[in-house]
Amino acid sequence: MAEAERIIGTPDTPDAAGSGRERPGEDAAPGGRAGSEGAPAAGTGSAPAADGADGPPSASERPRGKRRIAVLFAVAAVAYALDLVSKLIVVAKLEHHPPIEIIGDWLKFEAIRNAGAAFGFGEAFTVIFTVIAAAVIVVIARLARKLYSLPWAIALGLLLGGALGNLTDRIFRAPGVFEGAVVDFIAPKHFAVFNLADSAIVCGGILIVLLSFKGLDPDGTVHRD
């Protein structure tokens, strides 16, 4: 924890802060506490290791970052594929047909075209929601370059997959480009009808909130307020 805090500039103790500032010159300091007789070998061996661990991502750490990006896009691809396939089945088999009861009246599959946002809100702002979805995708793609946290990769992958799923409907479905209605079909009792893309977005958002409360940043560092 102390190392992560030193990275973002908030060391635990004054001694830790001092040692972080003086570490590059420890070998040349003749009278420092760490430079006493019999200690130079240990000091010179430990300082480079600490600097290598706490500095910018080294060559050995970059593959780990690439793996996190791969996880992000893999999660996004799975979420997008599940949403797309489910909507194709709903349009082909369920639209213009009576709802299918899954758990009595408590859960049904019912095909509904939604021109608004997730869960049917704001149907008069379809184009705005389309632009917002596109902006979210761009932000996530840019953030992926600094991604070193596996939980953040999963959370952003869910957001990306869900945003792509609903954006596909906005672009390619009636009544027109950027004004298309999203296909919703999961209808719990006393709740709005939604789809798998909405579920992925909500799950990703909840995970991001939890990670933020824990102080975990996308780059893998941990901070305390």
The answer to whether 115 touches 36, Cβ cutoff 8 Å, is no
| Residues 10, 161: Cα–Cα separation, whole Å | 36
Concatenated DSSP letters of 127-195: HHHHHHHHHHHHHHHHHGGG---HHHHHHHHHHHHHHHHHHHHHHHSTT-TTTPPEEEEEEETTS--B-
3-class secondary structure, 114: strand
Give catalytic residues, as residue numbers. Answer: 184, 198
Cα angle vertex 30, ends 27, 35, to 5°? 60
Strands (E), 36-160: 100-103, 107-114
Radius of gyration of the chain (CA): 25
